[in-house]
């Protein structure tokens, strides 16, 4: 496998998914991976029937990319796997579906599905961003934890008539949905690392919101939309924003656009391209407490940047709660010296 001949990209050998994961996503994943045997049990449960059924369905009803079928998409997949140093190249299927969507499915042997709607919408660099995004899900193992969310939502629907059971489970689901939204931001970063073209990433996210007429789109104006969405005029609209998030697993388009653009500009992206990133070989040594504190700081920074009136009103309380939560977590992770020394 080689990088594309028309433009050199930097390969990232041994890169850990921790390099691009949003702190809130990363802290949850590191904690879950520390639970001995958890991944194995969940993968076995998810893969026993679902993986086989899903792959058979797409094998029968979609087109599998190869050097002879959708060769450009196949080459983009191979290039992206080379750049992100993916241990095992997943299969790529193109499904005849006008809905603009892409997904990574399966837990034991993940594979990627691109709907024809998104293939027709994106140019080659933008589709590379999309493929890199889905490879990010594969590298992070998100498909395993998405299975948990799927089953919990199904259970919540069954318990809807049992008030107290439903409320407790719903709180867990809300937390998992928040994690899932952060995982999407993680994989936008993976997509950018795969294409290493900030403008292509911007275009792809704008097209997801507004369609193919790129000449009618402006990244500066889309940034203004993001700022206006953040700085709504009063608390009533802030509450509406919170309510609109319930039941969603993806951040809104302007939020994804502004968040990825900020990450690309603030230095972490360039540091990764320069070779300064965590390696997979060190994943076992990752500290749960350190990742938890990084997640808390990420939320604090987000609150401090925000012009949302509701966040402004409760910023002090929220920052205090994050700090208290970090201290409480450290108390329960006393076996980690790096945490207990703080």
pLDDT, tens only, 209-257:
999 888 899 999 998 998 888 877 677 777 777 777 777 778 889 999 9
Q: Which letter does DSSP use for residue 234 in this model?
A: S
Q: Compute the distance between CA of residue 339 and CA of residue 322 in angstroms, rounded to an integer.
A: 16
Is residue 133 in a domain?
yes
In a domain, 211, yes or no: yes
Q: Flag whether 11 is in a domain.
A: no
Residue 179 belongs to some domain of the structure: yes
At residue 60, does pLDDT exceed 80? yes
Average pLDDT on 49-57 reads 76
Q: Is residue 240 part of a domain?
A: no
Reported as a single tens digit per residue, the pLDDT across 144-174 is 766 666 566 666 666 656 665 556 566 666 7
Residue 269 pLDDT > 70, yes or no? yes
**339: pLDDT strictly greater than 50:** no
Q: How many domains does the chain have?
A: 1
- Output the pTM of the full model: 0.80
CA distances 285 to 185, 272, 280, 318, 341, Å, are 24, 20, 10, 30, 17
Find where tokens 């709504």 sit: 232
- Whether residue 146 is contained in a domain is answered as yes
**Chain Cα centroid distance, residue 64:** 24
Query: How many Å apart are CA 7 and CA 87, to the nearest integer?
Result: 23
What's the whole-number mean pLDDT along residues 46-56? 68
Range of the domain at 272: 17-228+251-282
Structural domain contains residue 63: yes
User: Average pLDDT for residues 290-315, to the nearest whole number?
Assistant: 63
Q: Is position 244 within any domain?
A: no
Under the banding of pLDDT at 50, 70 and 90, the label for residue 341 is: very low
CA neighbours closer than 13 Å in the CB half-sphere of residue 252: 13
């Amino acid at each position: 496998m080689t990088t594309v001949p028309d433009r050199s990209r930097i390969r990232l050998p041994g890169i850990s998914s921790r390099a691009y994961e949003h702190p809130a996503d990363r802290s949850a994943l590191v904690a879950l991976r520390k639970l001995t045997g958890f991944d194995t049990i969940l993968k076995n449960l998810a893969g026993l029937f679902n993986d086989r059924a899903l792959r058979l369905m797409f094998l029968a009803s979609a087109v599998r990319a190869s050097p002879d079928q959708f060769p450009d998409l196949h080459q983009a997949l191979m290039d992206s796997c080379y750049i992100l140093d993916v241990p095992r190249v997943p299969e790529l299927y193109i499904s005849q579906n006008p809905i603009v969507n892409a997904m990574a499915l399966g837990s034991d042997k993940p594979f990627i599905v691109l709907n024809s709607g998104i293939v027709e919408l994106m140019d080659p660099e933008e589709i590379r961003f999309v493929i890199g995004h889905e490879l990010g899900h594969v590298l992070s193992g998100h498909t395993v934890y998405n299975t948990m969310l799927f089953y919990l939502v199904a259970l919540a629907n069954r318990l809807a008539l049992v008030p107290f059971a439903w409320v407790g489970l719903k709180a867990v689901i809300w937390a998992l949905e928040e994690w899932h939204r952060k995982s999407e931001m993680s994989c936008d970063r993976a997509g950018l690392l795969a294409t290493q073209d900030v403008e292509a990433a911007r275009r792809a996210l704008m097209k997801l919101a507004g369609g193919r007429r790129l000449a009618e789109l402006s990244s500066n104006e889309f940034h203004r939309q993001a700022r206006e969405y953040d700085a709504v005029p009063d608390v009533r609209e802030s509450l509406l924003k919170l309510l609109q998030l319930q039941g969603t697993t993806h951040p809104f388009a302007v939020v994804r656009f502004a968040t990825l653009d900020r990450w690309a500009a603030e230095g972490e992206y360039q540091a990764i391209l320069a070779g300064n990133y965590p390696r997979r070989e060190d994943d076992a040594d990752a500290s749960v407490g350190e990742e938890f504190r990084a997640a808390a700081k990420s939320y604090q920074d987000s609150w401090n940047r925000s012009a949302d009136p509701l966040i402004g009103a409760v910023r002090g309380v929220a920052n205090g709660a994050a700090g208290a939560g970090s201290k409480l977590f450290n108390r329960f992770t006393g076996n980690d010296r790096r945490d207990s020394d703080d």
